[in-house]
């Protein structure tokens, strides 16, 4: 049996469902991987080029898909993950419902289990959502509020680690140094220390803060001009 998925460039990628037929392992893997990468990109998971190679970018996309679809976040293209990817019920990586039990009203919700963030206005409307990098060892679940902590400023447009890095759009919400900010950038070049496509995974670990994309950090900076509730859940 053959299922055909139309690839972005107009080519057809063939997915072969083996039913008593033996195919070379490498041929099966290439077809399967290409189909998975194309579908991941369709679902807003950012898998990168559809080249049949499961590199770090595709693994990160698989983690985001597995997280959004309540699967084990292995980053591996398992049979279960592959079948779920091709299902019409597959959930997108970039459009996730606000977690139940995260309260109501104007707030920012952070899920440590999903490595994800939601910015919600006073009407309950989702302003923006996206992946994060965090470190749960420094921040437990609970309700926090933005503002100065331990005598330190609540908001610093261009914070620094005191050495090589800038922590742009830094918003403090937990004692003493825990806040949200853009992925750190090198002072010398302005480049981020890692790519956006690692957000939403555990492939990197912060020093305690919540790392965001540049765009998300700018949204959070504007949203938190007044004291804002931050809800952290597992």
Give 221's Cβ-side CA count (13 Å radius): 19
The CA distance from 224 to 33, in Å, is 42
Q: Are residues 51 and 167 in the same domain?
A: no
Looking at the structure of the chain, the number of domains it has is 2
The CA distance from 172 to 175, in Å, is 8
Q: What proportion of the chain, given as a percentage, has pLDDT over 70? A: 88
Q: Are residues 142 and 62 in the same domain?
A: no
Q: Are residues 15 and 122 in the same domain?
A: no
Q: Are residues 159 and 44 in the same domain?
A: no
CATH code assigned at 220: 2.40.440.10
The residues, ordered by sequence, that sit 6+ positions from 28 with a Cβ below 8 Å of its Cβ are 16, 18
pLDDT higher than 70, residue 231: yes
Q: Are residues 202 and 124 in the same domain?
A: yes
Q: Are residues 77 and 128 in the same domain?
A: no
The answer to whether 58 and 43 have CB atoms below 8 angstroms apart is no
pLDDT higher than 90, residue 23: no
pLDDT higher than 80, residue 11: no
Q: Are residues 82 and 142 in the same domain?
A: no
pLDDT bin (cut points 50, 70, 90) of residue 29 is confident
Q: Are residues 139 and 215 in the same domain?
A: yes
Give 79's Cβ-side CA count (13 Å radius): 3
Task: Report the run of H or E that residue 94 belongs to, with start and end.
Answer: none
Query: Given this model, what pLDDT does residue 65 score?
Result: 98
Q: Are residues 45 and 115 in the same domain?
A: no
Domain that holds residue 27: 2-86
Query: Given this model, what pLDDT does residue 38 score?
Result: 97
The answer to whether 8 and 38 have CB atoms below 8 angstroms apart is yes
Establish if 94 belongs to a structural domain.
no
pLDDT higher than 80, residue 28: no
Establish if 93 belongs to a structural domain.
no
What rounded mean pLDDT belongs to the chain?
89
Q: For residue 88, give both structure tokens.
A: 């019409």
The 10s digit of each residue's pLDDT in 39-76 is 999 999 999 999 999 999 999 999 999 999 999 999 99
Establish if 28 belongs to a structural domain.
yes
The CA distance from 107 to 120, in Å, is 5
Establish if 97 belongs to a structural domain.
no
The 10s digit of each residue's pLDDT in 114-166 is 999 999 999 999 999 999 999 999 999 999 999 999 999 999 999 999 999 99
Establish if 101 belongs to a structural domain.
no
């Amino acid at each position: 049996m053959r299922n055909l998925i139309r690839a972005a460039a107009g080519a057809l990628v063939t997915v072969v469902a083996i039913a008593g037929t033996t195919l070379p392992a490498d041929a099966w893997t290439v077809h399967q991987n290409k189909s998975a990468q194309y579908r991941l990109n369709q679902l807003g998971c950012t898998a990168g080029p559809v080249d049949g190679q499961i590199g770090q970018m595709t693994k990160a996309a698989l983690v985001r898909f597995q997280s959004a679809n309540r699967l084990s976040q292995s980053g591996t293209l398992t049979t279960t993950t592959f079948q779920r990817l091709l299902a019409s019920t597959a959930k997108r990586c970039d459009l996730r419902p606000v977690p139940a039990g995260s309260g109501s009203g104007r707030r920012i919700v952070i899920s440590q289990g999903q490595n994800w963030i939601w910015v919600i206005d006073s009407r309950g409307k989702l302003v923006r959502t996206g992946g994060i990098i965090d470190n749960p060892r420094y921040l437990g679940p609970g309700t926090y509020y933005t503002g100065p902590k331990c005598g330190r400023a609540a908001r610093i447009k261009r914070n620094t680690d005191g050495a090589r890095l800038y922590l742009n759009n830094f918003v403090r919400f937990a004692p003493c140094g825990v806040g949200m900010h853009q992925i750190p950038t090198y002072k010398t070049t302005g480049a981020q220390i890692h790519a956006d496509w690692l957000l939403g995974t555990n492939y990197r670990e912060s020093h305690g803060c919540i790392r965001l994309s540049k765009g998300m950090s700018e949204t959070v900076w504007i949203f938190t001009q007044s004291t804002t509730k931050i809800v952290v859940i597992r």
